Amino acid sequence: MGVVASAPAKVILFGEHFVVYGEPAIVLAIDTRAYAKIENRDDERLCLHSSNLNLSAYFEDGTFKVEQGNTREARMKFEPIRLAAERVLEMYGKHVGLNIEINSTVPVAAGLGSSAAVVAAVTAAAATLLSVKISKQDIFQITFEAEKIVHGTPSGIDPAISTFGGALLFQMDTGFKPLDVKMDIPLVIGDTGVERLTRVQVEKVRQVREKYPQVVEPMMFAAREIVLRAIDAIKKNDMNTLGDLMNINHALLYGLGVSDESLEWLINAARKAGAFGAKLTGAGGGGCMIALANDERLEQVLEAMKRAGGRTFTARKTDEGVRIEGA
């Protein structure tokens, strides 16, 4: 018998890119989840399979062997998972073989934190299977360490939201602060299908900031004000203000050069179809955007974005972080 665990994806509601320069960001766990099923093996091989990516490989005695899919892609996707599994095995005290089956509904390389969700789920499932006592803080630390393989110097946002769920206010100098969000936040997420590298977009913003510091500094101040007003709007359940602030936040990001045509098509379609607001989420340059709409308009916004070329789905805030399924 195996153990199945899952962890949520995330959207950045406000503050991406500005967060790199010390401004606050609001991050939301959504009810789109990554699943990991783990079973014992008779040997000491670590076998990994991702059904949605059509990748299979195994690690054994320092050897990495791909059985299905592209070698480079398999190594890139599976290395963080191997690290997480091995950290749990270290806590277990001996090396045993594991079958790890990944099944994720989270779009990959789209800014929704898919890699962190997968690693958090794997960590929780492996610990439960091996009866290793592990806290949420341990899962966060292991996921954060694994994320360094993917992103180099990650902020820790993705591991935190996948582990703890809910809504977080994040700032570089103060770290994470949970936000008590009672408001339902119905979103339509549009995936452009355009993969991009976060570091390329971050570098783009750095260059603009260095070239035009007197222009960009007031934009940073505006981004901070947007986050503070958004917290107030969330407390008051004020969808209209929240939508306006999303539109203004997107205008700032557009001004920094991190939007692109694929995102603009979807954002404009969402607004025309009656969304309160729409913006890119994550790094930009492709990836995903989000649109806020009430329940009556949700379906028409989704259809309009689909007609504009997006892979669309609805999502809502979830307070549940990583969990064992069927527990």
Catalytic positions, please? 158
Phi, psi of 144 (to 5 degrees): -60, -45
Closest CA to 30 of 96, 101, 112: 112
CB 99 within 8 A of CB 51: no
Beta-carbon count within 10 A of 72 CB? 9
Q: Collapsing DSSP states into helix, strand and coil, what is residue 106?
A: coil
Beta bridge partners of 103: 35
Beta-carbon count within 10 A of 193 CB? 14
Alpha-helix runs per DSSP H in the chain: 71-92, 114-129, 136-151, 157-164, 198-211, 213-235, 239-255, 261-272, 295-307
What's the distance, Cα to Cα, between the start and end of the chain in Å?
A: 14
